């Protein structure tokens, strides 16, 4: 089982983790509009930077808005499990264009990766992820950037995602003397940047591996000691529930009447989930 920051974050609600990663249950609700907006913005920015990476260069001072049409093409081509209204596409494109107007086109060869997947092994645990943008900022310096459509922290110290990106970039580009990381707010049009020492990056990875050990131990308790599903994977109420697309399966919402994406699919999945819970 490959581990990741997103898996670790999902573990904050163990029941959702069990549904999504252990049982691969089909979601019951449509994708949250804010989450869908974030996906579209990422797709648009990736489309612009992927095209910029192939460019032979522009005059100094030219901004990324030169690639706005490629951002639109990428957003228009994006499909998801839910129909995407034209209004949502246009709203996302408008946010992407505001970002592109602010950022200069990187020098030729400076874009090292766009939506670059990585895989590394730490203490015999495989960790996967995707870095939004990797830029060469000097002869031996690199900058990792993550696009954020929501809130961003005031500092990056101990940020699990960026610490993991730092370690993955260090492994993939061993020639880099310095690696900086940044969370770019697409709404505020500003970037929170920072650096990780090797000790800090190791600490972040250690915390990520602690979560992996919890997941592994929980699965063992269910498999070998007969611990019930709801005891091992209890649902956790939080503000994230409003954005969860598995609510129709959750015991916390069993009395709620919720719109679903496909009644037949949800009914079938509910039967399967109930069977798994009751036989545990």
Q: What's the rounded Cα separation, in Å, for the pair 88 and 80?
A: 13
Question: What is the structure's pLDDT at 174?
Answer: 96
- The answer to whether the Cα torsion of 192, 5, 173, 52 is positive or negative is negative
The whole-angstrom separation of Cα 41 and Cα 34 is: 11
Contacts of 95 (CB under 8 A, 6+ apart): 37, 41, 149, 186, 187
Predicted pLDDT of residue 60: 66
Query: Domain boundaries in the chain?
Result: 5-29+206-279, 33-102, 111-196
pLDDT per residue of the chain (280 residues) written in tens, 0 to 9: 799 999 999 999 999 999 999 999 999 999 899 999 999 999 999 999 999 999 877 776 799 999 999 999 999 999 877 778 899 999 999 999 999 999 999 998 999 999 999 999 999 999 999 999 999 999 999 999 999 999 888 788 888 999 999 999 999 999 999 999 999 999 999 999 999 998 999 999 999 999 999 999 999 999 999 999 999 999 999 999 999 999 999 999 999 999 999 999 999 999 999 999 998 7
Strand, helix or coil for residue 18: helix
Cα–Cα nearest to 195, from 163, 147, 226, 217? 163
- pTM here? 0.92
Q: What are phi and psi of 118, to 5 degrees?
A: -140, 160
pLDDT of residue 280: 75
Are β-strands 178-185 and 190-195 bridged in parallel, bridged antiparallel, or unpaired? Answer: antiparallel
- Tokens at residue 82, please? 């839910």
* Rounded distance between C-alpha atoms, residue 163 and residue 141, angstroms: 16
Give, for 128, the enclosing helix (H) or strand (E): strand 125-136
Residue with tokens 């049982």: 23
C-alpha 210/C-alpha 123 separation (Å) is 11
Question: What's the rounded Cα separation, in Å, for the pair 30 and 260?
Answer: 7
Question: What is the rounded distance in angstroms from the CA atom of residue 258 to the CA atom of residue 171?
Answer: 46
DSSP secondary structure of 244-272:
-TTGGG-GGGTT-----S-HHHHHHHHHH
Helices (H), the chain: 5-10, 14-17, 33-53, 68-77, 86-102, 160-172, 198-225, 229-232, 263-279
Q: Which fold has domain 111-196?
A: Lambda Exonuclease; Chain A (3.90.320)
Beta pairing partners, 113: 134
């Amino acid at each position: 089982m490959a581990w990741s920051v997103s898996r670790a974050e999902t573990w904050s609600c163990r029941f959702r983790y069990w549904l999504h990663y252990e049982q691969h249950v089909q979601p019951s609700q449509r994708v949250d509009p804010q989450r869908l907006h974030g996906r579209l913005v990422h797709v648009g920015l990736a489309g612009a930077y992927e095209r910029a990476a192939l460019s032979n260069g522009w005059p100094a001072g030219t901004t990324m808005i030169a690639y706005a049409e490629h951002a639109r093409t990428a957003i228009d081509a994006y499909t998801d499990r839910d129909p995407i209204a034209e209004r949502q596409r246009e709203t996302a494109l408008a946010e992407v264009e505001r970002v592109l107007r602010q950022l200069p086109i990187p020098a030729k060869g400076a874009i090292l990766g766009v939506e670059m997947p990585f895989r590394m092994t730490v203490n015999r645990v495989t960790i996967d992820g995707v870095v939004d943008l990797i830029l060469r900022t000097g002869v031996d310096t690199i900058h990792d950037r993550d696009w954020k459509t929501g809130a961003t922290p005031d500092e990056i110290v101990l940020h699990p995602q960026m610490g993991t990106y730092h370690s993955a970039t260090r492994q993939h580009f061993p020639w880099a003397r310095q690696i900086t990381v940044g969370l770019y707010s697409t709404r505020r049009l500003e970037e929170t940047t920072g650096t990780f020492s090797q000790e800090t990056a190791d600490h972040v990875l250690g915390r990520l591996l602690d979560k992996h050990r919890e997941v592994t131990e929980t699965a063992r308790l269910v498999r070998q000691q007969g611990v019930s599903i709801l005891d091992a994977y209890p649902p956790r109420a939080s503000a994230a529930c409003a954005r969860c697309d598995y609510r129709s399966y959750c015991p916390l919402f069993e009395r709620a009447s919720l719109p679903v994406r496909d009644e037949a699919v949800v009914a079938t999945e509910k039967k399967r989930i109930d069977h798994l819970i009751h036989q545990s």
